[in-house]
Copies of this chain bind each other. A is one copy, B any other.
Amino acid sequence: MTPEQILQNSKELWATCIPHLSVDNVVFGFHDTQLKVLLLQVNEHDQWLLPGGYVRKNENVNNAVKRVLKERTGVDDIFLHQFATFGDVNRSEAFFDGYPDDLWHKQRFISTSYYALVDYTKVVPVLDEFSLASEWINVDSLPNMMMDHRQILDTALAVLREQLVYKPIGVNLLPEEFTLTELQRLYEAILGVKLNRGNFYRKIMKYDILVKLNSTRSGGAHRSPDLYKFDEDKYNASLKSYSW
């Protein structure tokens, strides 16, 4: 955007949005045994941001985050989980040196952050007017991220790992039919470690959320592995039924 456009944008944001509050999204996808996250490249210096934006004056924060994700990535209708709010002073970088002090973008912002688990195959990133690129990037080879967005991403991943201890995961991240090995690879990608096959099998079976299908994965020289799908009712129940 030109300086004139930035000043105009600032004016519009003061008129329509809640100052000092932003939302940021950590969108995870799984592909080819890799956990990926959707990032925006903001300039030619290999600097990246999480897709984020602002909350309108008459809009619930939980709705703003969906609208922002739609506007900045083209991703629609996905379930976002709020996981933390980042409120340290000096979160911003000096992006707007030289602009007036009352520029919207120069204010201090507190970020309420959400994560989402999406079907990688169903999300085609769309470029917005602020970004040079919108890409899926492996979580273990992240580029240079601006502000505290690396910390936000790391926190999302830590929360996800913690929830994996007592909740199953996989719906939205795997295709509808999958092998046990594919499910294990997903767990390994999130946890960042290799898991023992036997232990994984025993633990995942305890949840009683899988349905074995009568078909197998065809193709390849080896014996075709069994295919499974999630029992949606049991899966959803297990998300809520953790008990002491």
A interface residues (Cβ-Cβ under 8 A, vs B): 18-21, 55, 57-62, 64, 82, 84-85, 87-89, 108, 110, 112, 162, 164-166, 187, 191, 195, 203, 242-244
Contact = CB atoms under 8 A, between A and B. Distances in A.
Specify which of A165, A195, A203 lies most central, judged by the most chain B CB atoms within 10 Å of its CB: A165
Nearest to A88: B60
B203 A165 contact: no
A187 B244 contact: yes
Given A166-B166, A187-B244, A89 B59 contact: yes
B19 A87 contact: no
Contacts of A112: 85, 87, 110, 112
B164 A110 contact: no
A109 to B, nearest CB: 10
A112 B85 CA distance: 7
A148 B20 CA distance: 22
A203 B244 contact: yes
Contact of A82 (B20, B84, B166): B84
A110 to B, nearest CB: 6
12 contacts: A18-B108, A21-B21, A55-B87, A60-B88, A61-B87, A62-B87, A85-B85, A110-B112, A162-B166, A162-B242, A164-B244, A165-B166
A186 to B, nearest CB: 12
A57 B19 CA distance: 13
